[in-house]
């Protein structure tokens, strides 16, 4: 018995020594610095944003379909009834939640790249505006961060102006994802939705439209600035019909966030991308960014490259209910000249060289 007790005492002593050694090792280990913690928070904020846009709608739809075949089927039934009842809300200004725009995670999202907003002229709350956002890039990071989140100070720079951002109407058919989009101030890129904001929602509304759309994302690559704009005139006609001022904006650095495999015009892969874009509304791009654990690995997260969105001078537009094609062309040309001026005056300030040009197709 004494032998057993002695052995147990030795084991307990050894265990205490092991625990003490482990604690000393833990305390001696270097703790993460504030800089490391900030980097992790920034990475996680970008991760949740990318996963939300790529997976939230699809996962929610699959989950609701799965629940139909379980005892929780009333959840799917009630949500379907809600969508039917709430079907037109996205076309009527949506359902903004200011608390989501002020969500602290967006500051970490901003600082990851970082994203910066530059104001060149005032926007009067007595008018409505259509802001042309260029370029599209892969995921429109600059447009989202500046016009949907409050992290870059849009509200302070442009007091009295309510920003909205348009996106594909099909996104508002996906369960849960539609609520997420509306809460931030996104609306469908349709005549009805834009017309509502410009005519039935008072003044001080600024509707940002990524003019180039999905077609422009196919030409997105670092070092090349190509915009699909020459035949995109619907936004000008909308501005004339509602008397909304046109405002050009350009996000320098947007095309540097991902690497894309660009297929040449006329190739069979390019043809497949264009056909898919016409049928589904978006283009299937072959791109990659950095991985989750290392900048050197490949993954689906954007590279940390600075983005500077410069908002240009508003172009006064008269209200003409049925503008002629000549009038639309005239104001479209004025907008293009204003955009080119904005680009050329700021390109050397934000990472481009004096010889870089803006190609408009």
181-214 pLDDT, tens per residue? 999 899 999 999 999 999 987 899 999 999 988 7
| DSSP β-bridge partners for residue 132 | 209, 248
Spatial separation of the C-alpha atoms in residues 347 and 314, rounded to whole Å: 19
The SS3 of residue 77 is: helix
Measured between its terminal Cα atoms, the distance across the chain in Å is 93
Q: Output the pLDDT for position 276.
A: 65
Please compute the mean of the pLDDT values over residues 321-350 and round it to a whole number. Answer: 96
Confidence of residue 268 (pLDDT cuts 50, 70, 90): low
Instruction: Quick: pLDDT tens for 157-184.
Output: 999 999 999 998 989 999 999 999 999 8
Check pLDDT > 60 for residue 9: no
Confidence of residue 27 (pLDDT cuts 50, 70, 90): low
Write out the H or E segment, with its range, that includes residue 110. helix 105-112
Confidence of residue 23 (pLDDT cuts 50, 70, 90): low
* β-pairing verdict for 205-210 and 226-227: unpaired
What are the extents of the domains in the chain?
35-360
The SS3 of residue 118 is: strand
Q: Output the pLDDT for position 279.
A: 61
Instruction: Quick: pLDDT tens for 30-62.
Output: 667 878 788 899 999 999 999 998 899 999 999
Check pLDDT > 80 for residue 150: yes
Confidence of residue 19 (pLDDT cuts 50, 70, 90): low
Check pLDDT > 60 for residue 281: no
Q: Output the pLDDT for position 278.
A: 66
Tell me the whole-structure pTM to 2 decimals. Answer: 0.86
Close Cβ partners of 180 (under 8 Å, ≥ 6 residues apart): 52, 56
Check pLDDT > 50 for residue 3: no
Confidence of residue 2 (pLDDT cuts 50, 70, 90): very low
Query: Which of 64-68, 215-219, 332-336 has the lowest average pLDDT?
Result: 215-219
Question: What is the number of residues in the chain?
Answer: 361
Dig out the tokens for 4 from the structure. Answer: 């057993």
Proportion of the chain above pLDDT 90, given as a percent:
63
Dmax of the chain from CA atoms? 107
Q: Output the pLDDT for position 163.
A: 95
Confidence of residue 266 (pLDDT cuts 50, 70, 90): low
Please compute the mean of the pLDDT values over residues 98-112 and round it to a whole number. Answer: 92
Confidence of residue 226 (pLDDT cuts 50, 70, 90): confident
Nearest CA among 286, 221, 295, 281 for reference residue 255: 221
Instruction: Quick: pLDDT tens for 66-92.
Output: 999 999 999 999 999 999 999 999 999
Instruction: Quick: pLDDT tens for 106-125.
Output: 999 999 999 999 999 999 99
**Angle formed by the axes of helices 34-51 and 105-112, to 10°?**
100
Dig out the tokens for 151 from the structure. Answer: 């992290």
Close Cβ partners of 95 (under 8 Å, ≥ 6 residues apart): 89, 179, 182, 183
Instruction: Quick: pLDDT tens for 133-146.
Output: 999 988 899 999 99
Spatial separation of the C-alpha atoms in residues 343 and 345, rounded to whole Å: 6
Chain mean pLDDT for the chain: 87
163 compared with 26, residue with greater pLDDT: 163
């Amino acid at each position: 018995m004494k032998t057993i007790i002695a052995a147990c005492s030795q084991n307990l002593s050894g265990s205490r020594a092991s625990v003490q050694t482990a604690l000393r090792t833990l305390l001696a280990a270097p703790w993460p610095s504030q800089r490391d913690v900030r980097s992790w928070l920034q990475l996680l904020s970008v991760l949740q944003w990318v996963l939300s846009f790529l997976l939230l709608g699809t996962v929610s739809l699959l989950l609701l379909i799965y629940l139909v075949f379980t005892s929780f089927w009333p959840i799917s039934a009630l949500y379907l009834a809600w969508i039917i009842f709430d079907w037109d809300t996205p076309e009527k200004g949506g359902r903004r939640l200011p608390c989501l725009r002020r969500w602290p995670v967006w500051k970490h999202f901003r600082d990851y790249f970082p994203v910066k907003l530059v104001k060149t002229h005032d926007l009067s709350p007595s008018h409505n505006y259509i802001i042309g956002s260029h370029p599209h890039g892969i995921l429109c990071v600059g447009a989202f961060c500046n016009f949907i989140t409050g992290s870059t100070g849009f509200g302070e720079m442009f007091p009295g102006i309510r920003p909205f951002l348009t996106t594909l109407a099909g996104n508002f058919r996906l369960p849960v994802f539609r609520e997420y989009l509306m809460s931030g101030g996104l609306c469908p890129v349709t005549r009805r939705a834009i017309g509502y904001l410009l005519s039935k929602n008072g003044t001080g509304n600024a509707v940002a439209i990524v003019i180039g759309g999905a077609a422009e994302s196919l030409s997105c690559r670092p070092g090349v600035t190509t915009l699909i704009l020459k035949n995109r005139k619907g936004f000008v006609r909308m501005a004339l019909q509602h008397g909304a001022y046109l405002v050009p904006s350009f996000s320098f650095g947007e095309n540097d966030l991902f690497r894309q495999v660009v297929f040449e015009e006329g190739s069979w892969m390019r043809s497949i991308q264009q056909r898919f874009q016409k049928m589904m509304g978006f283009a299937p791009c072959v791109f990659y960014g950095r991985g989750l654990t290392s900048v050197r690995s490949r993954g689906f997260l954007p590279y940390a490259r600075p983005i500077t969105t410069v908002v240009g001078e508003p172009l006064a537009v008269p209200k003409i209910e049925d503008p002629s094609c000549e009038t639309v062309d005239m104001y479209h040309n004025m907008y293009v000249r204003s955009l080119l001026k904005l680009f050329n005056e700021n390109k050397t300030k934000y990472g481009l060289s004096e010889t870089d040009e803006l190609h408009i197709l």
